[in-house]
Amino acid sequence: MEYDKNITGAPVGTQNFNKNSKNKIGGLKYSDPSDAYANERQLYLSFYHLASKREVNFKAFVENYSENFNSNWNYEPVFGRADELATFMNTKRTLNVSWKVPAATLEEAQSNLQKTNLLAKFMYPAYEVSNQANTIAKPPLMRIAFANLIRNAAAGPSPSAMEAGLLGAVGSLSITPSFGEEGFFDPDSATIYPKLLTISIDFTVLHEHDVGWMAGSAEGDDVTTSFGFDSPELENYPYTELSPRLESKKPISQDATFEEDPNTPEGSQVDEDINDQGRLEREAAAQRQLDQAYHESQAYSN
């Protein structure tokens, strides 16, 4: 994989926040630590509008994130029966995300407002003929992506919503500029740029793959058709796992028998377990460093 030399560890073509920034504070060039964190780790909220084929991205200062899986049933009362007959209809998946959009400089505040404007425009459809509301060509469907938590479980590892975003309909979009202690920039007459925006969305997921189980797919059953959660692409639905992981070990039957492989060196399994443990410890240490950098970036932004 190629890498952009201007960003440590960021693949070519991926999001690069404030790459060409001319931000200055006190006459000195200013570099926000949150930019480096988002660029290097490619951790950002990505939105893609299918009607306009445009994408907008925000640094992931996520404040709240929740998902709901609601099963809908049709209940029919039956005479003489204590319980109603329940007929399953469907399962609806919705999510809510709210995040903060801080600005350390005037330039970043202007950029934040432009991106927020574009996100608001994503709430509108595309028309075939101007000034005719009955000629809607495409509804305002969006794709959303955020790390391995919000994404199409059957897509690849790209952080871009256009390439790997979860398809759905945004029911509401809320944008709240802060007029509290954070304040705003006022470079010109009758013009202000908030230093902090809070954005939230309600999103109803429209799955593009089969979700459910194949009848008779219990462990040990002979299932010849790969369907839904039995298929490899949905193994990690709904939260995908993009980094290499240890394979889960299936329970061993008491009746199972084993034959030793004469080509397997003695103690190789022990060495493998030790290497796995060392890798997990290194990953944990790296994650602690990233968490510390993230908290520092929030402190700078506030």
pLDDT of 46-83, one tens digit each?
A: 999 999 999 999 998 999 999 999 999 999 999 999 99
Res 154: pLDDT: 81
Q: How is residue 47 written in tokens?
A: 């939105």
Q: With beta carbons less than 8 A apart as the criterion, state whether 15 and 160 touch.
A: yes
Q: What percent of the chain has pLDDT over 70?
A: 66
At 177, the pLDDT band (50, 70, 90 cuts) reads very high
At 248, the pLDDT band (50, 70, 90 cuts) reads very low
Give the residue among 14, 51, 6, 30 at the shortest CA–CA distance from 105: 30
Higher pLDDT, 241 or 59: 59
Higher pLDDT, 114 or 262: 114
Give the residue among 175, 227, 163 at the shortest CA–CA distance from 201: 175
Strands 44-49 and 142-146: antiparallel
Please say if the pLDDT value at position 234 is more than 60: yes
Which whole number is the average pLDDT over 215-226?
A: 62
Instruction: Match 């520092």 to its residue by tokens.
Output: 296
- CA pair distance 296, 56, nearest whole angstrom: 25
Higher pLDDT, 26 or 123: 123
Higher pLDDT, 204 or 104: 204
Which whole number is the average pLDDT over 137-145?
A: 95
Q: Rounded to two decimals, what is the model's pTM?
A: 0.69
- CA pair distance 34, 43, nearest whole angstrom: 10
Helical ranges in the chain per DSSP H: 33-41, 106-121, 161-164, 268-301
Res 223: pLDDT: 54
Please say if the pLDDT value at position 267 is more than 90: no
Res 5: pLDDT: 34
Strands 191-194 and 196-205: unpaired
Please say if the pLDDT value at position 40 is more than 90: no
Length reported for the chain: 302
Please say if the pLDDT value at position 220 is more than 70: no
Angle between helix axes 268-301 and 33-41 (nearest 10 degrees) is: 150
Radius of gyration over every alpha carbon of the chain, rounded to an integer in angstroms:
25
Higher pLDDT, 123 or 153: 123
- CA pair distance 123, 104, nearest whole angstrom: 28
CA dihedral sign, ordered 269, 274, 275, 281: positive
Higher pLDDT, 271 or 157: 157
What is the DSSP code (8-state) at residue 243?
A: S
Edge-to-edge, what's the strand order for the sheet holding 61-76?
Answer: 54-59, 44-49, 142-146, 166-177, 196-205, 85-102, 61-76
Res 4: pLDDT: 37
Q: How is residue 64 written in tokens?
A: 């709240």
Q: With beta carbons less than 8 A apart as the criterion, state whether 203 and 94 touch.
A: yes
Res 12: pLDDT: 41
Please say if the pLDDT value at position 7 is more than 50: no
